[in-house]
Amino acid sequence: MRAFIGLPLLLIAYLSSHGCHGFAPTKSPLAMARSSNTLFSSESRADQSQQLPANLVNQHAFVTAIDILKRDMGIEPIPEEERPPLYAIGKLVAELPLELVSGVRLADCETLTLISGLKQSVIDATGMQSLDTIVAIRAGPDDGGGYGYVGDVSEANLSTTAEVYTQAINYAVQNKLPGIQLELNRLVPMMASPPE
């Protein structure tokens, strides 16, 4: 069962096969415009081969990436039998000012690249959170009403995500733009309401 609703969410995540590795950009980050969609999914974590809406990452890959990052941080992941039966994957667009781009840290977590850390100024300006995953990075309008730079990083590894992030920043600097745009996914556990 799937339904889309508006919900302000951000998410950045992607996993790798060698544990989590970090990346911190060399420039500064963002302010945020929030537009969002949420996908509710109660399908089995083992059977997620169905088609997902554009720029929503696979739920199983997302959960796995978060578990890997938590283990690497010395935090015990939630046991399988205690996990919620339903998750929402939210999609959000954040405008990140160039002066804040260095406040975002990424981690390669085998299945997704996740945001592993954010400066408080980035959180305050954008609403982004750790454990979000970036699915697209854009910069600057072009003459046709689109973007001058667009990079798809949905379920990309850390190296690819960092390269696209850097290219978007460079494009923005070269074209005297105030920032870049990040499209994010966020995994939100959903709990059943207690019976009345």
Q: What is the pLDDT of residues 53-108, one digit of tens each?
A: 578 999 999 999 999 999 999 999 989 898 888 889 999 999 999 999 999 999 99
**Vertex 188, ends 23 and 112: CA angle to 5°?**
30
Q: What is the pLDDT of residue 53?
A: 59
Alpha-carbon distances, residue 111 vs 46, 138, 150 (angstroms): 14, 23, 22
Segment 42-52 shows an average pLDDT of 43
Q: 46 or 67: which carries more pLDDT confidence?
A: 67
Residue with tokens 């494009």: 171
User: How crowded is residue 159: how many other Cβ atoms within 10 Å of its Cβ?
Assistant: 13
- pLDDT tens digits, 119-134: 999 999 999 999 999 9
pTM, two decimals, is 0.72
Segment 140-149 shows an average pLDDT of 83
In the Cβ-directed half-sphere of 112, how many Cα atoms lie within 13 Å?
32
Q: Is 173 helix (H, G, I), strand (E, B) or coil?
A: helix
Phi-psi region of 17 (alpha: psi -120 to 50; beta: other; left: phi over 0): alpha
